Amino acid sequence: MDLIFAEASPPGRGGVSVIRLSGAGARAMLERFAGRVPEPRKAVLRLIRDGDEQLDQALVIWFEAGSSFTGEEVAELQLHGVPVVVRRVSAALQAAGCRQAEAGEFTRRAYVNGRMDLAAVEGLGDLLEAETEAQRKLALQNASGGLSRKVETWRQMLIRAGALIEVSVDFADEDVPDDVPNEVFHILHQLRSEFSGEIDGFHAAEHLRKGFEVAVIGPPNAGKSSLINRIAQREVALVSDIAGTTRDIIELRIDLKGLAVTLLDTAGLRESDDQIEAMGVDRARNRALTADLRLHLSSTGQVDDSLWSDGDIAVTTKADLAAQNTGMAISSVTGAGINQLLDELYERLSLRVSGAGLVSRQRQLSAIRDARDTLQQVDDLPPEILAELIRQTAVSLDRLLGRIGAEEYLDVIFSSFCIGK
Ligand code: GDP
């Protein structure tokens, strides 16, 4: 594979800018621009030169092939964090024959060279996009091989079961039916239940990864927009606000004590005679109905039963105007009750992420479902058939880690990475 390079730090001014090179010839390139190559993994201050011209002074780190992120020869230059320096050094590298890396190309090489499996790559992708604590934790677990280690344990169990069967067949008297040792069934039952556990925890893990959608609904003037605005001003909670994909819905992304939550402001859901607008409103209403939870706002405390689902929260608004309040009452004017509402929302959503496993993507889920289905019925089966089922289960686990059948996913996965990663 050719020699690639990219700025690994965000563009713009900063303390340092990191340029990373990977591929055969990285060592020679480092020698050419920074002089003698330092000992592996030891940062050394060097002048960066292009012929006679001095480009910058930088910390230089060298990684040998086989012990770097990509598995190839890798060099890193920690330059001064100035765009013009980065541009000048990049131009010199390009003139010397290095190619600008594509998005995710370093990670792709790490995958191709067997430094990371696909589950870890996906975890890394999630980590790069994480906005909240819960997302960070799950992503980091997978990026650092959490799922991969689990799969390796399962694989060892399959190998043991396979070996036990082989022994029982090889040494059995030909006249006596082969007896499969009980331990084989014990192992396969245990595997099946562990696979089921991961499958059961999928929705929780997916919620951690993607976050929740919470729709704020209620009649016109109930105070929906005021509540959203009030929450948006609490800077601790605010991540970003994104105008909705339709003109009828506004999304506010918040970090609710570590959970990623998108609040949907459905204030635009009004009856309309205009056909096109009515269609848009219908779509938005459906979105509110398929959200993970709804906050039903009204100043009277009444809710529309037709829109109510288990787990929703009824909220009485404009508490400052009422003489007396019962239930969950808020005022977007004084702020009363809003913390309690957010606490209640957090309690309910956090119940839905308990029991989260490490499998958090459809691709992984489908592989592990296949593995579980293969082992659905194993009792009383003859050894040859058990051996075949064990082999099939191992194939599903290989798919889970991307050792096989990964081609169709690769472009999608790596394109979500940034350049330099
Ligand atoms: P929406 O149509 O449900 O989005 O309702 P809005 O948020 O636009 O609020 C409708 C009206 O009620 C506005 O005039 C707000 O100022 C007022 N309002 C909203 N929340 C409160 C509140 O907590 N207390 C008081 N006194 N007025 C409020």
What pLDDT digit, counting tens, does each position of 223-265 carry? Answer: 888 898 899 875 333 333 443 334 567 888 999 999 999 999 8
Nearest atom within ligand 1 for CA of residue 265 = 4
**What is the per-residue pLDDT for 219?**
85
Residue 409, pLDDT > 80, answer yes
**What is the per-residue pLDDT for 238?**
38
- The sign of the torsion formed by the CA atoms of 187, 193, 199, 202 equals negative
Ligand 1 centre from 186 Cα, in Å?
Answer: 62
Residue 418 DSSP code: P
Average pLDDT rounded to a whole number, residues 58-74 = 97
Residue 420, pLDDT > 90, answer no
Ligand 1 centre from 332 Cα, in Å?
Answer: 8
- Evaluate: CB of 90 within 6 angstroms of ligand 1: no
**What is the H or E stretch that residue 158 is in?**
helix 146-170
Residues 240 and 261: their CA atoms lie apart, in Å, by 11
Ligand 1 centre from 331 Cα, in Å?
Answer: 9
**What is the per-residue pLDDT for 173?**
57
pLDDT in tens, 6-16: 999 999 999 99
Confidence of residue 221 (pLDDT cuts 50, 70, 90): confident
- Evaluate: CB of 336 within 6 angstroms of ligand 1: no
- Evaluate: CB of 374 within 6 angstroms of ligand 1: no
Q: Whose CA is nearest to atom 28 of ligand 1?
A: 318
Ligand 1 centre from 226 Cα, in Å?
Answer: 6
**What is the per-residue pLDDT for 347?**
96
> Two tokens at 336?
């009363």
**Percent of the chain's residues with pLDDT above 90:** 72
The preferred substitution site among 216, 217, 221, 316 for testing ligand 1, maximizing ligand atoms within 8 Å of CB, is 221
Of these ranges, 71-80, 255-264, 304-313, the one predicted with the greatest mean pLDDT is: 71-80
pLDDT in tens, 326-340: 889 999 999 999 999
Distances (CA, A) of 409 to 69, 109, 368: 21, 15, 16
The preferred substitution site among 221, 225, 226 for testing ligand 1, maximizing ligand atoms within 8 Å of CB, is 226
- Evaluate: CB of 331 within 6 angstroms of ligand 1: yes
Question: Angle at Cα 55 formed by Cα 50 and Cα 59, nearest 5°?
Answer: 105
Confidence of residue 23 (pLDDT cuts 50, 70, 90): very high
**What is the H or E stretch that residue 34 is in?**
helix 26-34
**What is the per-residue pLDDT for 59?**
98
pLDDT in tens, 358-400: 999 999 999 999 999 999 999 989 999 999 999 999 999 999 9
**What is the per-residue pLDDT for 154?**
97
Ligand 1 centre from 235 Cα, in Å?
Answer: 21
- Evaluate: CB of 159 within 6 angstroms of ligand 1: no
Average pLDDT rounded to a whole number, residues 341-345 = 97
Residues in the chain: 421
Ligand 1 centre from 222 Cα, in Å?
Answer: 6
Residue 96, pLDDT > 50, answer yes
- Evaluate: CB of 296 within 6 angstroms of ligand 1: no
When comparing pLDDT for 155 and 404, which is higher?
Answer: 155
Q: Whose CA is nearest to atom 24 of ligand 1?
A: 318
Ligand 1 centre from 196 Cα, in Å?
Answer: 47
Nearest atom within ligand 1 for CA of residue 317 = 23
When comparing pLDDT for 301 and 94, which is higher?
Answer: 94
- Evaluate: CB of 298 within 6 angstroms of ligand 1: no
Nearest atom within ligand 1 for CA of residue 229 = 7
**What is the per-residue pLDDT for 246?**
41
- 3-state class (DSSP) for residue 215: strand
Confidence of residue 80 (pLDDT cuts 50, 70, 90): very high
Average pLDDT rounded to a whole number, residues 287-302 = 92
Average pLDDT rounded to a whole number, residues 178-194 = 92
Instruction: Assign residue 347 a region (left: φ > 0; alpha: ψ between -120 and 50; beta: otherwise).
Output: alpha
Residue 209, pLDDT > 70, answer yes
65, 73 in Cβ contact below 8 A? yes
Q: Whose CA is nearest to atom 20 of ligand 1?
A: 223
Query: What is the pTM for the complete model shown?
Result: 0.82
Residue 165, pLDDT > 60, answer yes
- Evaluate: CB of 222 within 6 angstroms of ligand 1: yes
The overall average pLDDT reported for the chain is: 90
Ligand 1 centre from 224 Cα, in Å?
Answer: 7
Confidence of residue 140 (pLDDT cuts 50, 70, 90): very high
Average pLDDT rounded to a whole number, residues 281-305 = 88
Residue 234 DSSP code: -
Average pLDDT rounded to a whole number, residues 68-91 = 97
pLDDT in tens, 255-291: 999 999 999 987 666 666 777 767 767 777 788 889 9
394, 155 in Cβ contact below 8 A? yes
